[in-house]
Structure 1
Amino acid sequence: MPHRQSLAAAAAGILLTAGIGATVPAGATAVPTRTTAPPATAQVVNARWGGHPTFDRLVIDVRGTMPQVTVTPVKALHYDGSGGKVPLAGKYFLEIRLSPAAAHNESGQSVYKGPRLIRIDLPALKGVALTGDFEGVVTVGAAFHAEPFHKAFVLHSPERLVIDVAHPAAVCRG
């Protein structure tokens, strides 16, 4: 008899070790730790803006981990690929590049829900355009009538790039 008990105990141990003994009770459901996995490459999904008493704010929403960002003053905005001039009125422009990033998913469908080209009538910000989504780089352009004194920073949960641009009168007041 003692031999049978030790065999039964050994078999139970093997089954538990193999995970066969770990069953989920009837009616129970597994709870996922995450509903969807973040994309392998950051996805630019929206651009939005707002006016404040002394500055205008441009926000670029990102799904996934925030990629490297550069904000560069340029003389004009051009579409990536074609090189065509972006038809936004302004004397000053900022080119915002996010890389590695995409505004489309792995199937090639756009995930970007923001404006492709829009005129804006805020004290500083005069227009925004999605100017590129090519080879892992997403480019957004912003137009201004006065030189844009700006500050760019990243906020988390959800991921977003924020660019605050001082109103021209606020810059003059010092």
Structure 2
Amino acid sequence: MYHHPSRAAVAAGVLLTAVGATVPASAATLPQTAAKSSPPARVVNARWAGHCTFDRLVIDLGGATTTVGVKAVKELRYDPSGKKVPLPGKYFLEIRLSPAVAHDSAGKSVYRGPRLAKIPLSKLKGLALTGDFEGVVTFGTAFQTKPAYKAFKLHSPERVVVDFNHANRCG
């Protein structure tokens, strides 16, 4: 005879309750699925500087480190609205940090850097905080000429660095 599993479970529960049986806590506990993940990195600032052969963008993090992705895009858009970012340029890069947030658990911004800035460096011409949505923080960068770049992380304190190469300006 076929027994429906959910009916059998209900019947067993009723039977145990009726006879006053107790189930040990270990037997009633569901198996652990995954350990709690660490909190995402908090993006707290962005700053830049020009050097002889490169311009540098530094994104300061509070707490944990994060993964970083940099890719060329045709234009910059705010996430999640999709509105165009008003930075002039011919070339754009999107910098994506995940998992990361630029706000606290109450939704208040912890990011103290610029949200939209024109930058007068040799290569880097603009920066925008384009997103802080669903555990992903994105920045957009603007250039007049195609950028060559290198992204890496530094520690103590945690930060993401993106260098944009250009011709030697120091002679």
Report the TM-score, using the length of structure 1 for normalisation: 0.73
Pair 1:160 & 2:159 matched: yes
Give the secondary-structure state (helix, strand or coil) at the position aligned to 2:64: coil
Q: How far apart in 2 are the matches of 1:74 and 1:100?
A: 21
1:75 paired residue number: 74
- Structure 1 residues 20-169: aligned runs within 5 Å: 40-167=39-166, 169=167
Q: How far apart in 1 are the matches of 2:56 and 2:141?
A: 11
**What is the root-mean-square deviation in Å for CA atoms of aligned residues?**
1.0
Query: Which ranges in structure 1 are unaligned for 5 or more consecutive residues?
Result: 1-38
Q: What amino acid sits opposite 1:97 in the alignment?
A: R
Q: What amino acid sits opposite 2:78 in the alignment?
A: Y
Q: How far apart in 2 are the matches of 1:159 and 1:70?
A: 16
Q: What amino acid sits opposite 1:75 in the alignment?
A: K
Give the secondary-structure state (helix, strand or coil) at the position aligned to 2:42: strand
Cα offset for 1:66?
A: 1.2
Report the TM-score, using the length of structure 2 for normalisation: 0.75
Q: How far apart in 2 are the matches of 1:59 and 1:90?
A: 20
Q: How far apart in 2 are the matches of 1:161 and 1:92?
A: 21
Query: Which ranges in structure 2 are unaligned for 5 or more consecutive residues?
Result: 1-37
> Percent of aligned pairs with the same residue?
66
- How many residue pairs align between the two structures? 131
1:22 paired residue number: none
Q: How far apart in 2 are the matches of 1:116 and 1:81?
A: 15
1:113-141 CA distances to partner (integer Å, 9 max, x unpaired)?
00000000100000000000001000011
1:85-138 CA distances to partner (integer Å, 9 max, x unpaired)?
100011111100011110000011100000000000100000000000001000
